[in-house]
Amino acid sequence: MAKKPIKNTSGRGRRDLTVKVKTARGRKLSSKLWLERQLNDPYVQRARAEGYRGRAAFKIMELDDKYRFLVPGARVVDLGCAPGGWLQVAVPRINSDGANPKKAQGRIIGLDLQEVEPVPGAEIHVLDFMADGADDIVKGWLGGEADVVMSDMAAASSGHKQTDHLRIIALCEAAAELAFDVLAPGGTFVAKVLAGGAEGDLQKRLKSNFAKVANVKPGASRADSSEKFVVAQGFRGRSGQEDGPGDHEDADPA
């Protein structure tokens, strides 16, 4: 059982002491450490305080604050949208709920393999985006091409670092394939990857189809995580030319 943080009333530093979790009978050490990390994670605490469904909401906030792709009127596809934190962030930014009548109203489609609790202003569907014809279904729901395709998907952890890396790269590649099919010219693709060496082919394909590709580790990502996000902007279509003098990749420090 977790102990409540003890307030520092001495005035030295004025901070709460770290929450410690006792190892209950039958609880694995890994579970204890995970729970302890969750209880002391400032982004987890902030998500609860601000009503977001997970700490991942702050990752897409940081990415959009820097690259400005969630703009009023944008048509957005969120792949693997559960639990809905990215949808919560996107709705007011693209004005898909029409809350600001002075701005263009966007539209956002969330896709997942499981039912997701509704998010006001977002349209959520249960769909395997890798199924045949999924691209046409998505464009039908959107009423046209997308301006943004984003993905925070991660395969279930196997406990083997290289296997997990390959699995998430495969997911990202599949998400990129859908993006190539549904994005409008000039569109943006945002997806989570794990650093590990197998993402070279994906980076090459993105750089040949987008004007600019950046690799970023948001501050909201845990320091001990190998995750990073690729932000590809200026979609040129599948027939994009190979890298030219103006093409480059920005690599933000991890």
Residues of the chain with pLDDT under 50: 1-22, 29-30, 32-36, 38-39, 240-249, 251, 253-254
Q: Residue 102 domain-assigned?
A: yes
Query: What residue type is 231 in one-letter code?
Result: V
* Structural contact between residues 83 and 51, judged by C-beta atoms closer than 8 angstroms: no
Is 51 labelled a binding residue? no
Domain count along the chain? 1
CATH label of the domain that carries residue 104 = 3.40.50.150
Q: Residue 12 domain-assigned?
A: no
Q: Residue 153 domain-assigned?
A: yes
Residues 6 or more apart from 23 whose CB is under 8 A from it? 29, 32
CA distance 113 to 125: 9
CA distance 106 to 89: 13
**161 labelled catalytic:** no
Q: Residue 43 domain-assigned?
A: no
Q: Residue 35 domain-assigned?
A: no
Q: Residue 17 domain-assigned?
A: no
Is 201 labelled a binding residue? no
Is 78 labelled a binding residue? no
Is 132 labelled a binding residue? no
Two structure tokens written together for 157: 């952890």
HSE (CB half, 13 Å, CA atoms) of 33? 3
Q: Residue 103 domain-assigned?
A: yes
Identified catalytic residue from 192, 207, 217, 228: 192
Range of the domain at 157: 53-251
pTM of the model: 0.77
The 10s digit of each residue's pLDDT in 136-176 is: 999 999 999 999 999 999 776 667 777 777 888 889 999 99
Query: What residue type is 222 in one-letter code?
Result: R
Q: Residue 26 domain-assigned?
A: no
